[in-house]
Amino acid sequence: MRTDELIAALATNAGPAPTRRGPARITIALMGGVSASTLACLTCLGANPALLTMGTGLAVKLAYVIGVLATTAWWLGRAGRPGADWRRAASAALVVAAVMAFWAAISVWQAPADARSTLLLGQSWTSCPWRVAVLSVPAWALAMWALSGMAPTRPHLAGFAAGLFAGSVGALGYAIFCPEVSPAFVSAWYTLGMLIPAFIGALAGPRLLRW
């Protein structure tokens, strides 16, 4: 039998590579990242005293961030398994972002013209993305560690997923301090803050995730 025929025979119906360590490592990254991000926010920025009075705005913001976190955790697990289909998880994350963007557009459209810029920029648009990105650093390191113990075959993609996962963890921690509840603000600047570690992860993936 030729070598290529042997390889083809071995690979037939092989399916995704099985893994037992992946979910455990991602859980550690999640718990460790959320704990570190929350502690860093409380230590460096403090808690917003009006946090419990923000009502629906806070609920929408948290729903968006948790939605991104849940879908990217799924994506992260798929990205670390050779042969696993990651497209549904990536599509789910995109749907979450699209729904939030649609909600933001409706809220801006319904607002008076002179209030629209305030809804988009709030009081902290220049600092929000960077704070989210900085608070994502522990989760970023843990997510890359989680992937390094798996077997990602697309390091750029896996690194992007890890960074987006970490960014959502950073956004969750930052929400403790953040005074903004406008859907337009959250859709624009929280998303940008989550994308910063995602693009860094995509660039660092081939170097850090080689196996």
Instruction: Render pLDDT for 134-193 as a digit per residue (tens, 0 to 9).
Output: 999 999 999 999 998 888 889 999 999 999 999 999 999 999 999 999 999 999 999 999
Per-residue model confidence (pLDDT) at position 6: 55
Residue 7 has pLDDT above 70, yes or no: no
Alpha-carbon distance of 147 to 142, in angstroms, equals 9
Burial 58-77 (b: 16+ CB within 10 A, else e): bebbeebbebbbbbbbbbbb
Per-residue model confidence (pLDDT) at position 135: 97
- Residue 12 banded pLDDT, cuts 50, 70, 90: low
Residue 11 has pLDDT above 80, yes or no: no
Per-residue model confidence (pLDDT) at position 95: 98
Beta-carbon contacts of residue 4 (< 8 Å; ≥ 6 apart): none
The overall pTM is greater than 0.85: yes
Helices marked H in 80-136 — which ranges?
87-110, 116-121, 128-135
Q: In this structure, are residues 121 and 155 in contact, taking their beta carbons and an 8 Å threshold?
A: no
| Residue 209 DSSP class | S
87-134 tens-digit pLDDT:
999 999 999 999 999 999 999 999 999 999 999 999 999 999 999 999
15-74 tens-digit pLDDT:
554 445 688 999 999 999 999 999 999 999 999 999 989 999 999 999 999 999 999 999
